[in-house]
Amino acid sequence: MTDARHSALMETVSELLDWARVSPFAARFTQSDTNGTSSSDVAVNPRTGAWRTRDIQTGRSLRYSPETHLIYVNDEEDGQPASDGQRPQHQSVRMAFPLSLDIWGRRSDSFRPVDVERSGGEAILLLRHRTEPAIYGSARLDISRGLLTAVQSPLYSWSFQDVALPKSPV
């Protein structure tokens, strides 16, 4: 990798790691994997860690409150304690918290970033599997928002569509 390519990769990783500056947003999340395709409406405030998600098919909703560290199911009054000491993230909001993804080359991660293509307002990170170098994935960054909008591997595809300001506070 040339110095210029390496610099572009590091610049993109730096932008992704600045996720706590991302403005609150709402979006449609779509996930495709070996179990099929599902969609959720999500609203996330990366600055506070608050989020809510509603499964389009089932109508089931979840909401995480960073003030109480509880997850509320279908707006019940009694929340359930988060299972770990960190901010929990439902699958549908993980791209808003990039460090929760297994794409950084850490010991427990499946992938690591190896290259980037920057064009216009987006950057596409090329990801290589840590133990199977012939397996690749990608992550798409909306540079102006500082938000990952898609992550793909041979086993799954996640994406945010119709990203906008949330209609109500998160």
Residue 130 counted as domain residue: yes
- Domain hosting residue 156, numbered range: 3-164
Residue 169 counted as domain residue: no
Check: CB of residue 66 under 8 Å from CB of residue 51.
no
Q: Which two tokens stand for residue 29?
A: 């999340």
What mean pLDDT do residues 55-82 have? 88
pLDDT at 126: 97
Residue 170 counted as domain residue: no
Does residue 54 have a pLDDT over 60? yes
Check: CB of residue 75 under 8 Å from CB of residue 65.
no
- pLDDT tens digits for 136-157? 999 999 999 999 999 999 999 9
Domain count, the chain: 1
CATH of the domain at 24: 2.50.20
Angle at 140 between CA 120 and CA 49, to 5 degrees: 115
Which stretch, 2-11, 36-45, 76-85, has highest mean pLDDT? 36-45
Residue 110 counted as domain residue: yes
Does residue 83 have a pLDDT over 70? no
Does residue 84 have a pLDDT over 80? no
- pLDDT tens digits for 103-134? 999 999 999 999 999 999 999 999 999 999 99
Q: Which two tokens stand for residue 94?
A: 């993980």
Residue 16 counted as domain residue: yes
Check: CB of residue 146 under 8 Å from CB of residue 21.
yes
Residue 104 counted as domain residue: yes
Does residue 82 have a pLDDT over 80? no
